[in-house]
């Protein structure tokens, strides 16, 4: 690259540009390689009580913590001032049933759930339940494979 950079003619500039692009491509491939390699190393070394393990866990915890979210009015909510309610409201909103004529349709459906099970499914959601479910999720996964 140095030999092409010194040249001032058109061909020298083009070769310098090509060499620079190749360098960036190789550096990018190298970065990808080391990222993949570090994942393999994590799988191999992750069970050991090592500095590597603690550094990875600490970084993962920082990246995966939900510290605050904005509610529908735009107010920032933390765990102390209603973050759980924001989550519950969000999921209630996206999973609510649309108004419609369901009577005729429901008459054709054969019940598969016993009444006592249905009652447990219809009971109100508790904040601690939501928190437990969120914290049980795999840290690298998202619900419904959304990224």
Res. 75 pLDDT band, cuts 50 70 90: very high
Could you report the per-residue pLDDT of 96-123, keeping only the tens digit for each? 877 677 777 888 888 888 999 999 999 9
What's the confidence (pLDDT) of residue 25?
92
Distances (CA, A) of 10 to 7, 13, 17, 138: 9, 5, 11, 54
Could you report the per-residue pLDDT of 8-45, keeping only the tens digit for each? 778 878 888 888 899 889 988 887 776 666 665 665 65
* Entry pTM: 0.37
Res. 147 pLDDT band, cuts 50 70 90: very low
Could you report how far apart the first and last alpha carbons of the chain are, in Å?
39
């Amino acid at each position: 690259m140095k030999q092409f950079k010194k040249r001032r003619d058109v061909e020298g500039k083009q070769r310098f540009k090509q060499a620079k692009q190749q360098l960036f491509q190789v550096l990018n491939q190298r970065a990808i390689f080391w990222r993949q390699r570090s994942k393999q190393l994590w799988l191999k070394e992750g069970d050991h009580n090592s500095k590597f393990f603690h550094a990875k866990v600490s970084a993962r915890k920082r990246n995966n913590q939900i510290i605050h979210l904005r509610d529908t009015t735009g107010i920032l909510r933390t765990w102390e001032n209603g973050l759980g309610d924001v989550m519950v409201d969000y999921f209630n909103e996206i999973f609510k049933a649309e108004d419609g004529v369901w009577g005729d349709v429901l008459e054709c459906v054969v019940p598969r759930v016993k009444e006592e099970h249905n009652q447990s499914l219809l009971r109100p959601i508790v904040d601690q339940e939501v928190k437990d479910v969120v914290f049980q999720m795999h840290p690298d996964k998202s619900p419904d494979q959304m990224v």
